[in-house]
């Protein structure tokens, strides 16, 4: 596997000058945000400024310890929160200016699933991704069904089609949620801690799938994750957040430096660069 990723890494780095010339898919410019209990009190938490860009076919991992502002940044990228200052642009348009349904055709967000009130079949769930296309009160067309079926096939979940959502395993559910996001036919795919409830096999499987989606279908993928090594393995770019500040942005090898990571995660760590050029983080033993 390391040979394969190494090959892709070199392709990616070689093509950077060409990809950088056209407009980036996602442009995050000096974005900041502040939470306050009320309008007048001092902010409890501030984010930013954060700046980074993402091209098509790129996977960007947003890393950082708990309460570093990852989820807030994600909400801003998804257009759910308006930044206090700065801009988030998708294909040249500011995210906050999108009409909600237009936004849903450009940006799909995969979150931890909420509790379902009433049972739902997998295909019904995936078809919901077609909501932004068409009128408010709508009936799904044959095309919608085709696209939903394709989305399920893309995540390798064809067989789940007629299963009930609440009978799925964690990994299967994650696949289904991803399929619904793909049914939205977005250009930007945001994933908020998608690996949280998966075992190691499931995590690798999911990230491999995202890599393939980015490479083959030109998605731009932004992932919030706690998995330093998986992020190093699969992402093109890393944004490291620390206490609400955008601390470092760059390739995994540029960002993964021992002192930086130790300070951010407050743990004794070692970083080694593998032959593929991608770093690996190891917990330093106490002896």
Partner 1 sequence: MRPLTPRRITGICALLFAVLFVVMVISLRTGAYPISVRDIVMTLFREVIGRTDEVPAEFKLVVFGLRLPRIALGILVGAALSVAGAGFQALLRNPLADPYVLGVSSGAALGAILSLAFSPHLLGVIQLSAFMGAAATIAIVYFLGRRGGQLDSGTLLLAGIITASFLSAIIMFLLTTLSGHELRGMAFWLMGDLTTAPPTEHVLWWFESLFTIFLIAAGAIYTTASDLNLILTGEQEARHLGVNVHRVKLVVYVAASVLTGLAVSVSGAIGYVGLLVPHLMRMMFGTDYRLLIPTSAIGGAIIIVAADTLARTVVAPTELPVGAMTALAGAPVFIYLMRRRVR
Q: Binding residues for partner 1, per CB under 8 A?
A: 78, 80, 100-105, 107-109, 111, 113-114, 116-120, 123-125, 127-129, 131-132, 136-140, 144-145, 148-149, 161, 184
C-alpha span between 117 and 224 (Å, rounded)? 27
Smallest distance from partner 1 to CB 257, Å: 35
C-alpha span between 243 and 65 (Å, rounded)? 8
CB nearer to partner 1: pick between 120 and 253: 120
CB nearer to partner 1: pick between 51 and 150: 150
Smallest distance from partner 1 to CB 239, Å: 21
Please report where in the chains the tokens 């807030």 appear, as a residue. Answer: 72
**Rg, the chain, Cα only:** 19
Residues 241/261, Cβ–Cβ less than 8 Å: no
CB nearer to partner 1: pick between 35 and 268: 35
Residues 215/17, Cβ–Cβ less than 8 Å: no
Smallest distance from partner 1 to CB 74, Å: 11
Smallest distance from partner 1 to CB 126, Å: 9
Smallest distance from partner 1 to CB 132, Å: 4
CB nearer to partner 1: pick between 55 and 184: 184
Q: Tokens for 198?
A: 């998966």
CB nearer to partner 1: pick between 73 and 247: 73
């Amino acid at each position: 596997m390391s040979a394969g990723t190494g090959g892709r890494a070199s392709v990616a780095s070689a093509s950077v000058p060409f990809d950088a010339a056209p407009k980036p898919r996602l442009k995050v410019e000096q974005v900041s945000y502040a939470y306050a209990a009320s309008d007048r009190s001092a902010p409890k938490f501030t984010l930013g400024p954060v700046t980074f860009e993402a091209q098509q076919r790129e996977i960007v991992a947003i890393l950082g310890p708990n309460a570093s502002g990852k989820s807030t940044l994600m909400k801003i990228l998804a257009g759910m929160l308006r930044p206090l200052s700065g801009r988030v642009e998708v294909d040249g348009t500011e995210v906050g200016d999108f009409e909600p349904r237009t936004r849903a055709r450009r940006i799909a967000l995969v979150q931890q699933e909420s509790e379902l009130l009433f049972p739902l079949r997998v295909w019904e769930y995936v078809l919901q991704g077609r909501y932004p296309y068409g009128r408010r009160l709508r009936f799904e067309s044959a095309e919608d069904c085709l696209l939903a079926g394709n989305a399920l096939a893309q995540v390798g979940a064809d067989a789940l089609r007629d299963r009930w959502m609440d009978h799925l395993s964690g990994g299967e559910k994650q696949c289904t949620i991803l399929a619904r996001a793909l049914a939205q036919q977005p250009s930007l795919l945001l994933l908020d801690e998608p690996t949280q409830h998966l075992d190691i096999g499931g995590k690798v499987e999911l990230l491999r799938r995202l890599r393939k989606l980015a490479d083959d279908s030109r998605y731009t993928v932004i992932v919030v994750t706690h998995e330093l090594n998986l992020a190093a393995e699969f992402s093109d770019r890393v944004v490291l957040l620390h206490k609400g500040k955008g601390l470092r942005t760059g390739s995994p090898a540029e960002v993964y430096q021992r002192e930086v990571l130790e300070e951010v995660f407050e743990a004794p760590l070692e970083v080694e660069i593998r032959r593929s050029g991608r770093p690996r983080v190891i917990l330093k033993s106490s002896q």
